[in-house]
Each structure stands twice: as structure tokens, then as C-alpha cells.
Amino acid sequence: MVLALYQTGALRGASTTKVAASGAVSVPDVRFDDIGGQAAAKKELMEAIEFITRRDQIARMGIRPLKGILLTGPPGTGKTLLAKAAAHHTDSVFLAASGSSFVEMYAGVGAQRVRDLFRRARETARKERKNSAIIFIDEVEVLGARRGSHTSHMEYDQTLNELLTQMDGIAVDEEVQVLVMAATNRVDMMDPALLRPGRFDRTVSVDLPDKEARLAILQLHTRQKPLADDVDLEAIARQTFGFSGAHLESLANEAAILALREGLGQVHQRHFVEAVDKVMLGEKLDRKPTPEEKRRVAVHEAGHALVGEWVEAGSVATVTITPRGQALGYVRTHPADDRYLHTRTALEGRIRVALAGFLAEELVFGEASTGAANDFDQAVRLARHIVHAGLSQLGIVDPETLNRDLEGAVVQQIIADQREMVAWFLAERRPVLEQVAEILVDAEVADGDQIRRLLADAPPLPPVQGPAVPVEA
């Protein structure tokens, strides 16, 4: 589940009969053990390539070898590395190309390059005295898009037709066994003829890593980095939900760069924490808001942080008003566990957090600002998700046929209910809101522990006010 650290070769050059040799690697020096996380994908892939390492037994059983394996998943999840590890595991020569390498405006060029690639795979295997070769095609959706989807000319379709023909021609008893592996994050764009059994026989899902996998990836990428005693990689793994292996590799690299800038010989925890922000949002900006804007942003982010702690205690990691990317400030959270399913209560809690900055501004300044526009978009998306998931008073609905006026009314009611509760909470916790905002104005950053201490010292909340009466279906 790590970033593909090795440059994949590509088919280059204008010639229709020659492909650059940079696409061929005898046997990649990448093992499955070198790939952090992705236990399920590695296990499934190792089982799928057994036919290469056990050719004699496969032939005696009359089993047709697999002709293609499709790796699907988000960018940066390690699909290229898995393909290289499969080549190492089976002692196969490895040829790599990208889907765009086959497509030209001139008729017949792409089809010729496909033929050349399969020919070179067999020739390279014989030259290296190997009995198997793996052809890896990255971004295969460019080459394998549905036929007829390109209206300008037929070159795309001819190239795809040649790939289909070559995969059909991979015989069981050939001297060199060829396996086609391909990677895509847009499997919905691919032609059904390419996905049928006999071409891409297996589809292996390479998903974003969970917390345990993120920890394994971080450990892998920090093996050769001098870490200080205060480094807690498990805490960093908790804070990086949604990060791919590529993100985590970049995070470890950025942390080491930050330590180098300070002239230190070890990487400390604060470097990893700042690297998380940098990977998520970008480099710190020189943008200097006015004192009035700075206080407004501080109040806005303090509102998000307090309501975030109210919704889920212990979830706030850091609050800052240091501009990064397009953000003048932000709150970073680290929930206790990765979550893939959400109840209505959980979604309503996220709506409350989204509305908190806007309502904090209204409470302190008497009016809000345009800084809450993205928060509103998020709140509306979450409310629509409640409706479309069948969790609203409308029950199970078909989003395609749902009356837009009725949907809009229910969405507005969900948001109004949460707005009422957030306004009540912030009014009760206004002294704490002001304290957190002052800390942010002075230091530009506050950690979750500071906020939790301030909340713990505050008087108990009165009973929660109930939401407004919901819209009737």
C-alpha cells in the first residue's frame, strides 16, 4: 500500500514497429513484504498467480491459466508495486506501459504497439531464460474505454480490438506464459469485452489503507529515518484516515525535510504533525489577514473545535489559524476508529460541526462572513445523504424520482434542527469560545488537550433543547 517508488517504463517514440527498451525490467526487486498494508489484496493476488509457479500441476489438472488480472482502486494505493511484486514472486520478466502510450492520431499505430509489446514480452523472457512474463498496463481505461465512446476517429477502438485479440491468443502450452496485469481507478469506463472471463479473469481491489495498514506503511517508510523518542507513529496513523500509501510516503518525507530545515539530526513528533497538515492542505502561506479577520477566523475555528468535542469527545487534534492552501484556518480531527458506516445521529453530528463556525461568528460579531460557504456545502451534502440513505422521515426514497421541492424542504428542516442545537450550545459555552479564540489569536495554534481542559473547567450544560418539529412527508 505504498507509493510506487519505481519509475514504470513506457512505450515511446513515433515508430510503429519499435518500442523503447525502458519499459522492460528483467525481474523487479520488489517483494510483497516491501509493501505495507494491503493484506487482502496481496493474498488474493498471490493466489491468482499460483498458476505461473505451478505450471505442471496446472496442466495436469486441465486448468486454463489466467490471462489477465485487473487491479482497481484509488490513485497512490500501490497497484504498480503489487504488479512488480507479482513479477518478483513468479520470477517473471516485467514490461510496463501506460494506456496513453498506445494511442496516436495515426491509424494503426496503437494496434502495432500492442503487438510489439506482446512480442517483446516473449523475446525478453527467452533472452533472460525465463518461462513467464508479466505485462503491466497502467491507466488501462485510456486504452480499454468502451468502444464507440471516442467519436473523433476509430484509432482507439482498433487499439482495443488488438489488445482483445492478443489476450485471446495467449495459449496454455506456449513456451513463455504471458500474464497481463492492468491498473485503473475508473473501471466504470472500461469496455465489457475486456472485463469478461478469458481476458481479465480476476479483479483485485486495492483500497485505501485502514489504521493498522497505515501504521505498517509508516513503519516501512521510516525504517531508514532517524526518529526521536517522542515519535508516536500509531497516533499519526489515527490522524491520517483517508490517506493513501502515496500520501503516507510523502508525509514521512516531508517530516524528515522539516527536521533537516531546523538543523536537527532526528525527526520529532511535531514534524510529523506539521507534515500531516502540509500533505492535506499545502505549504504555509505568506498571506497576512488583518487583525479583524484574524480574530474572526479564530472565533470561526474555535466554534468548529468546541462543537467537534461536543459531538465526539477527544476527537479534536489541532486547531490553527495559520493559512495553508485555500484555507485561512482549519480544525484537524482524529476519531478513535476508522468508520465506514454512519447512523443518522452521526451524520447530524457532522452537520453540527459544519455549522459551528458560521454560528460562532454570528454569536460573537452579530453577523457571519463568506468564510462559511464551504461549510454550508458540506452541511447540505450531509443532509441530502440522510435523505437519500432512507434515514429521514421520508423513509426509503428513489433519488431519481424524489420531488425536489419536498427533498429541499426536508434538507432545510434537518439543517434548521441542527442549527438550533448548535446555537444553544455555543451560547452556553461562549466564555470557552472566547478563551479558545484568544489562544488562537495569540499563538495561532491550539491542541485538542488545551480545549478539553477548558471544557472540563466549564460549568455543566443544562438539558439539551430538542429540535424543531420535522417536515411531514
**What residues are labeled active site?**
301
- The answer to whether 451 touches 309, Cβ cutoff 8 Å, is yes
Q: Please report the beta strands in 68-200, taking only residues with DSSP state E, as ranges in sequence order.
A: 68-72, 93-98, 132-138, 177-184
Measured between alpha carbons, how far is residue 383 from residues 280, 369, 465 in Å?
Answer: 25, 22, 20
Cβ–Cβ under 8 Å, residues 418 and 375: no
**CA-CA distance, 473 to 470, in Å (whole number)?**
9
User: Beta partners for 133?
Assistant: 93, 178
Task: Determine how many CB atoms are found less than 10 A away from the CB of residue 464.
Answer: 11
- Name, in order, each residue with C-beta under 8 angstroms of 106's C-beta and a sequence gap of 6 or more: 16, 155
Residue that is written with C-alpha cell 498571506 in the block? 287
Task: Round to whole Å and give the CA distance between 447 and 384.
Answer: 32
* β-strand pairing of 316-320 with 330-333: antiparallel
What is the CB neighbour count within 10 angstroms for residue 235? Answer: 15
Please, which residues have CB within 8 angstroms of residue 161's CB and are 6 or more apart in sequence?
111, 147
- In angstroms, the Cα distances linking 184 to 143, 194, 380, 395, 408 are 11, 13, 31, 36, 36
Burial per residue of 308-334, b for 16 or more beta-carbon CB atoms within 10 angstroms, e otherwise: bbbbbeebbbbbbbbbbeebbbbbbbb
As a whole number of angstroms, the longest Cα–Cα distance in the chain is 81
Cell numbers 502510450 correspond to what residue?
101
Task: Find out whether 253 and 265 touch, Cβ atoms under 8 Å.
Answer: no
3-state secondary structure of 68: strand
Which residues on neighbouring strands pair with residue 227, listed in sequence order?
Answer: 267
Residues with Cβ within 8 Å of 73's Cβ and at least 6 positions away in sequence, in order, are: 79, 185, 205, 206, 207, 208
- Give the DSSP H or E segment for 422: helix 404-428
The backbone torsions φ and ψ at residue 125, rounded to the nearest 5 degrees and listed phi first, read -65, -45
CB 328 within 8 A of CB 321: yes
